Structure 1
Amino acid sequence: MDLEHQIDQFLGKIMQYAENKHEILLGACESHLKLTSTQEHILMLLSNEVSTNARIAEQLKISPAAVTKALKKLQEQELIMSSRASNDERVVLWSLTEKALPIAKEHAEHHKKTLATYQKLGNKFNDDEQKAIIKFMKLLSEELSSEKSETK
């Protein structure tokens, strides 16, 4: 099979795996709650710091509306709580409840496991091969970015 077809199949598998997910992580959430990867990622972010809707949207590179929707679902499940900033009552701050801590920790562990797997796979290639892989990913990323900006 030609290289271009192998790349096409590979990217298709990634798209299929990542369907409706914010990120690609190895390992499944063992929580009994039905959470999206975006919701789990928000919990992980909030385990590190209290945050605002706008800051979460910026960190996840998703729309504030998508964050609001995810936060609403998390609040309904009593995983997060809101408070007002002491210096500006208009600012809503989000933080975790105790119930969310194990889920946030588990999500962080999935990140570590995923990166460790990438490292293990990368170590199977010599330096020149790794440079070629990195160059390919950079060029593909640039191509996808330019394609996206052309369609706007």
Structure 2
Amino acid sequence: MIEQGQYKNLFKETPYFAFLLLHTLSRGIEIVYAFYKDVVSSRMNSELEIDEKLSNLKRGNRISLAVHSYLEMALIFGIIYFIQPATSKLSEGGSLLDSILYSFSVMAFNFSFDKSFITLGGVLHVTQVFIGITLVVLSIANYLGMKDTMSEFEKSDWRNGKYI
């Protein structure tokens, strides 16, 4: 187990670990912010009707984005846990599959947080759980209850083949 003062060795052992860590945290913030804004933002049209979204994405597209983001984050965190097993509860020399399975168990609301984590491992664990909660509870639950209608502008684009 790595002691608190040995973080310098974490970054020396794998030179790309710091880049991967920063990219993952940046991507996590981006996903949480985007899905939060998408769920809570609605606009009002000229007839004072609420519930129009700011993009043309429909319910199925939104659910697909949430699922793909969920899978992306679980895989990226799995790679982090594989590169640095000290940041997780995995033993040294475990396989990439073990790391990915561990990551998916954390994303599936595994609140098995205990005091055996080093500080960085605890931050990663809590961050991953928070991202999972955001994607599942906030996004998917909201998208399932959303109306899936098209405005006249969207219908015109659909007829002209300009709609995805």
TM range (shorter): under 0.3
Bigger radius of gyration among the two: 2
Higher relative contact order (CA 8 A, sep 6+): 2
Higher strand proportion? 1
Q: TM-score, normalising length from structure 1?
A: 0.27
